Amino acid sequence: MGASCCSYPQKQITNEIVLDVKGSLHTLSKKSVNNDQYVGLDNVPEIKEQYEDFEVIADSPQGMTPQDDQTGQQCKVFQQSESKVDTLPKYGIKKKLTVSSVGTVKLGADVFVNLKQGSIHKYYTTGEVLGQGAYGKVWKVTHKNTVGMIRAMKQLKKSSLIVEEQQRLFAEMNILKNLDHPHIVKLYELYQDQQNYYLITEYLSGGELFDRIKSMSYFSEKKAAEFIRQILLAVVYCHEQKIVHRDLKPENILFANESSNSPLKVIDFGTSRKYDTEKKMTKKLGTAYYIAPEVLKQDYNEKCDVWSCGVILYILLCGYPPFTGKTEKDIMHKVSEGKFKFDQEDWGFISEEAKNLIIKMLQVNPSQRISAKQALHDPWIDKHNLNEKVNQIVLQNLQKFQAKSIFTQAVLSYIACQMTSQQEQDELVKTFQTLDQDKNGILSKDELIEGYALVLKDKELAIKEVNKILQIVDLNQSGQVDFSEFLMAAMNQEKLVSLERVKAAFKIFDANDDGKISKEELELMIGSIDEELWQQILTECKAEGEITEKEFIEILLNQKL
């Protein structure tokens, strides 16, 4: 099957009945709203129903006075109403001083993503415009305090966002900041000034999924299985976190870079939400070719994402969508019926296993449709998936990893999450996914034990090693190892903690650029810490009052010893 002969569907605007935030965190694409069902300010209960997981603290950007807008280094504009995830960690409990501060504060990739106040241009140099619309622009930016740390910056005008759009933006940010997966775009930082919100995300330079395929001279079933597997890995992880995407389509699946083996990343969580397995969702939104029939009926669950993946897989294998029409209305009518066929001319050389998977993913009745996890474990995908061996060096790095204080934990976590390249992560991703037997995007204790038992040939010793690893590596104290925790501990420490990186990290932690890190500056990075813990951190850093660059470098470089 040659990619050059395929005529992929033209990009479709997202058909939304609810308000849209006018583009994703990574792209700015125009989106349509059905004016007859446009949600207005009078319909606040309906808005609250959609975002029942979130509580808006600020009424609107316009309601903020200049004095309010400038108070404090952080503005807590959004938070999750449930206690599971806080925007800012709270650590006000008094503690006794212990031998080490390790484990006294929960750390995760999300703790570094807080809404910061001030000029973003102090930290980033803007480059080319990647996209723009009526509500803002997306820029390619470079961090001033690091060498070559390139990111994408979405700038959103506060004056263009009414309160419901702001609420939706914060809902998306709250979801994305807590997602930690190798196939989901990373949200790094949030800023605001009087005029704009700024969202700093991973810069994905490899282009859209179908654009890459069209440039290939030959495209095989094996390649299609490899691509859909990566997408399903992200979807399974989201569903395990009780998050539904609701607008999976080729434009929202990008390659991380231009290399031929670049990983895929899912972007645009503007239509995503937390869901309750006991309740059906009712908001009608999505994109014509990819929307599930039950979404059109406004009675659906997370399996709407599986339908979208089934459509994507169909297009990957033949070059056109299963449901077509001259207008969006025609397309949606075909989707509602759910009838499609495998034309012999285009599908004659495609395996029955591939067709069977598509049939199982495109069942009109969601109760008869397979789950994302079942699709990921389908025989056709397994057949084309290379069984990677566990990298013993990576496991040895995990065993050797030591964090001498909460401070070094925080810095190492930041460096691993935000300052490492895709190339540095690639080998670690393979090992992480090999160990992750149930493919839920998190390493359980049992999965780690199984991985170490294969290498050590001794289960009792494996259990002992894993218990030690979890005590040190499990920064957010979940009893499991998240992807960012794995990156931090499994990477070669010589490479992770280079002098160049440590100096760059110091400049980032030293927010006011005075050559020292104060308690307030550390709190900007990891949230509130009590005075006793701060004093213990100072003792561990052999510092008085504040942490100097020399003390910062010494404690981090000693980490490698």
> Which two structure tokens, joined as six digits, stand for 162?
């009414």
- Cα–Cα distance for residue pair 156/133, rounded to 1 Å: 10
Handedness of CA 232, 238, 243, 246 (dihedral sign): negative
> Which two structure tokens, joined as six digits, stand for 68?
């309010």
The CA distances from residue 209 to 185, 224, 236, 252, in Å, are 14, 11, 19, 8
- Look up residue 184 and give its DSSP letter: B
Tell me which residue of 415, 405, 389 sits closest to 489, measured CA to CA: 415
Backbone angles phi, psi at 156, to 5 degrees: -120, 125
- Cα–Cα distance for residue pair 398/392, rounded to 1 Å: 10
Helices and strands (H and E) in the chain: how many: 23, 17
First CA to last CA distance, the chain = 53
| Angle (deg, nearest 10), helices 499-509 and 519-526 | 100
3-state secondary structure of 313: helix
Helix or strand holding residue 473 (H, E)? helix 459-473
* Residues of each annotated binding site: 154
- Out of 20, 53, 247, 474, the active site residue is 247
**Is position 247 annotated as part of the catalytic site?**
yes
> Which two structure tokens, joined as six digits, stand for 234?
């992200």
The CA distances from residue 340 to 32, 317, 332, 358, in Å, are 27, 14, 13, 10
* Residues of each annotated binding site for ATP: 154
Taking every pair of C-alpha atoms in the chain, what is the biggest distance, in angstroms?
Answer: 76
Which residue type occupies 108? G
Backbone angles phi, psi at 544, to 5 degrees: -125, 115
Neighbours of 12 (CB within 10 A): 20
Which residue type occupies 296? L
Write the DSSP assignment of 12-73 as a string of letters.
Answer: --EEESS---SS-SS-----EE-GGG---GGGHHHHHHHTTTEEE-SS-GGG--HHHHHSSS
201 pairs with which residues across the strands? 152, 187
Catalytic residues: 247
